[in-house]
Chains A and B, each alone.
Chain A
Amino acid sequence: MLLFRSEEHAANWCRLRSVELGAVLNLETLWELSKAWYGDRLRPDWRRRTRDEMHELFASLGLAEPFWRFD
């Protein structure tokens, strides 16, 4: 997962490598995703989320496309 100045820069990076443009998020959505995904890693009771929990987390941020599914 790489940062770019803009979607145009990401698209250019993809074009040069002959890979499809994947999912693009703004920094505010990325920050919300990061807090939800990683915010509990220093807790003693941390455990890996189930696939359903991961899908729910993504969906809560509007990330409901097939790209964001583990199955």
Chain B
Amino acid sequence: MDDGAVRLHIYRTLASTGRAPSALETAAGLGLYQDEVEAAYSRLAAQRTLLLMPDSHEVRMAWPFSGVPTAFRVSGGGQSWFANCGWDLFGIAALLPGDSLLETECQDCGESLAVRITNGQVEGSGMIHFAVPVAKWWDDIAYT
């Protein structure tokens, strides 16, 4: 069982469709049994490569992608994605071959923030705040 192949399938599916594949879909895509793939999802989560929804094998986070809708949206090339946070907006853009539009809101005043990545250059204003020191990121990764 190659967990790397499962990881790559999840990431490539997220990149191409904006959706995280279920274990059943990954099993079908790789010609594996569903229970094998569920075990791989669990191992990848234990290694902190994925975050799964509680008591399930649904992908909540495959950084920088979010498997669930969030207030952090990326679009480009006719596709759209959800990110986990402000950093991951830029992380998704870093994985895309073309230009992208990153959208969220200022968490203080609620004003819309839109940043464009065009020809590898940042166009837009704003800043990011990392509230949690690196050493404590995994104390509560959903908050981080």
A: residues with CB less than 8 A from B are 1-7, 9-10, 12-14, 19, 21-28, 30-31, 33-35, 37-39, 41-42, 44, 46, 48, 54, 58, 66-71
Q: Does B117 sit within 8 A of A, measured CB to CB?
A: yes
Known: A13-B129, A14-B131, A71-B135. A5 touches B109 (CB 8 A): yes
Question: Which residues of B pack against A, CB within 8 Å?
Answer: 4, 7-8, 11-12, 15, 47-49, 63-64, 85-95, 104, 106-109, 111, 113, 115, 117, 122, 124-135, 144
Interface residue from B91, B104, B134 paired with A67 (Cβ < 8 Å): B134
Chain B contacts for A33, CB-based, 8 A: 87, 90
- List 8 A-B pairs, minimum CB-CB distance, nearest first: A34-B90, A38-B91, A9-B108, A3-B86, A10-B129, A1-B87, A23-B130, A1-B85
Tell me which of B85, B95, B107, B129 has the highest count of chain A C-beta atoms within 10 A of its own C-beta: B129
Cross-chain contact B95 with A39 (CB below 8 angstroms): yes
Specify which of A23, A38, A44, A71 is in contact with B63 (CB 8 Å cutoff): A38
Contact partner, A34, options B15, B91, B108, B126, Cβ 8 Å: B91
A5-B126, A27-B124, A67-B134 are known contacts; what are 9 more A-B pairs with Cβ within 8 Å? A1-B86, A4-B107, A14-B129, A25-B130, A30-B90, A31-B117, A33-B87, A34-B90, A38-B88
Q: How far is the CB of B138 from chain A (nearest CB, A)?
A: 9
Cα distance, A11 to B125, chains bound together (Å):
17
Q: Do A5 and B106 touch across chains, with their CB atoms under 8 A apart?
A: yes
Q: CA separation between A67 and B131, bound complex, in Å?
A: 10
CB distance from B87 to the nearest CB of A (A): 4
Can you list 21 contacts pairing A with B, beta carbon distance less than 8 Å? A1-B85, A1-B88, A1-B131, A2-B86, A2-B129, A6-B127, A7-B127, A22-B130, A25-B128, A27-B125, A31-B93, A34-B93, A38-B63, A38-B64, A39-B94, A41-B63, A46-B4, A46-B8, A67-B130, A67-B134, A70-B135
A28 and B94 contact, CB distance less than 8 A:
no
Query: Once the chains bind, are B107 and A3 in contact (CB under 8 Å)?
Result: yes
